[in-house]
A and B are shown apart, each in its own frame.
Chain A
């Protein structure tokens, strides 16, 4: 590794390649994320953004290269659970457990993985629900909640594990427009709390406000990495300019 000095990046990707049959979803991805950073991945659909963040907790396997989280190589085996304990994820489709109450959706991880008692884990879950603004929904089942509320439960569930890294895979794409704001507000509140965050989103205004860095992807490659101001005002690559023209001028 070239940089042995000072703090090691919490996430390091080196030459990561992922193929689906003949189609290369990721090509030779190199990316370092510093602890505490908020990084937003942008790019047209099918550019590999979701695949990239799913490689970080191995929901997607990769064919070449290395993904290292906090010094642990991400691969099948004993260390994988350790990685997943440190990396939380919020899904586009929420993926709440319909057979559990809202409270137990959040408490399950701490009980089974962190070995908390149910009482302690539920107590913690109540605090997290208050933090995402839906304390009164604790005893309902996910299906009884609106989409925005469900996604806030999804965020609380990820937070309950006290992860060092949070991955957001298009967290507002499945929401009705009037619910997008409430979820983005919660996410904004988490940024700067010290948790490293990687977000895939199509919300440009939000990306610009919340990101420390923008990573622009296309066709499975990283085309540009820039600060939000630079990226949105004078992107270096033509591809990024074309992308911005398409999404901002409609």
Chain B
């Protein structure tokens, strides 16, 4: 057997493609949902950390620290295998989405906070001086400026979340990786795994490039 027919067997690839695409679709759905929920959760956490009363602030800090320290896989396994013991049974998809969202929120919270911290004090003071509420100040002045700063790191985080979806195969979710291992077993040939790797690259390489573009553009615009 030569390398090509072992790892790049077109015949096997074509036959396993429907299975792989089905997995790819689930991977995208899981990644997209976790990314969006993580972006929203992170913003709530960041604002809570900066503006909530002290007890809540301490809780948020604890949450952010714990979920940045905890390995994704460990938390995913706990959500799927341990929570049923206290009566919370989630489907593989729901477990994975929950675990990924909770961890992504912790990371995005830190990114937002750094972005808001980077806005000069004078912007807050000018908004306060004309009588804006904290909500209006955030919505109209601070967040629109902070968003530009945080887009590159948020995109980076999104790439990480998308990659971490592969861990969902551990809790029996038929994502791209899981489908690929299945197809590999059926065909007794590793080509489907190579196919899955290529699909991951097609999905994520453009995003990696995009971060570089964002960073260059932000550097060039030279904020005052």
Contact = CB atoms under 8 A, between A and B. Distances in A.
A246 interface: no
Contacts of B125: 59, 89, 91, 95
A91 B145 contact: no
A182 interface: no
Contacts, number: 66
Interface stretch (B65-73, B126-134, B191-199): B126-134
A84 B127 CA distance: 10
B144 A59 contact: no
A113 B132 contact: yes
A113 B224 contact: no
Interface string A64-81: 000000000000000001
B22 interface: no
Interface in B187-224: 223-224
Interface in B39-74: none
Contact of B140 (A59, A87, A95, A108): A108
A233 interface: no
A99 B130 CA distance: 17
Given A91-B122, A97-B123, A143 B129 contact: no
Contacts of A91: 122, 125-126, 129
Contact of A99 (B120, B129, B132, B141): B141
A198 interface: no
Contacts of B123: 95, 97
Given A98-B224, A99-B145, A113 B131 contact: yes
Given A93-B122, A97-B141, A81 B131 contact: yes
A88 B125 CA distance: 11
A205 to B, nearest CB: 28
A170 interface: no
B129 A84 contact: yes
Interface string B114-128: 000000101101111
Nearest to B222: A143
A157 interface: yes
A240 interface: no
19 contacts: A57-B128, A59-B125, A59-B128, A81-B131, A84-B130, A87-B129, A88-B129, A89-B126, A91-B125, A97-B123, A98-B223, A99-B144, A99-B145, A100-B141, A108-B140, A113-B130, A113-B132, A113-B136, A161-B130
Given A81-B131, A84-B131, A97-B140, 11 more contacts: A57-B128, A59-B125, A81-B133, A88-B129, A91-B122, A95-B122, A112-B140, A113-B130, A113-B132, A157-B126, A160-B130
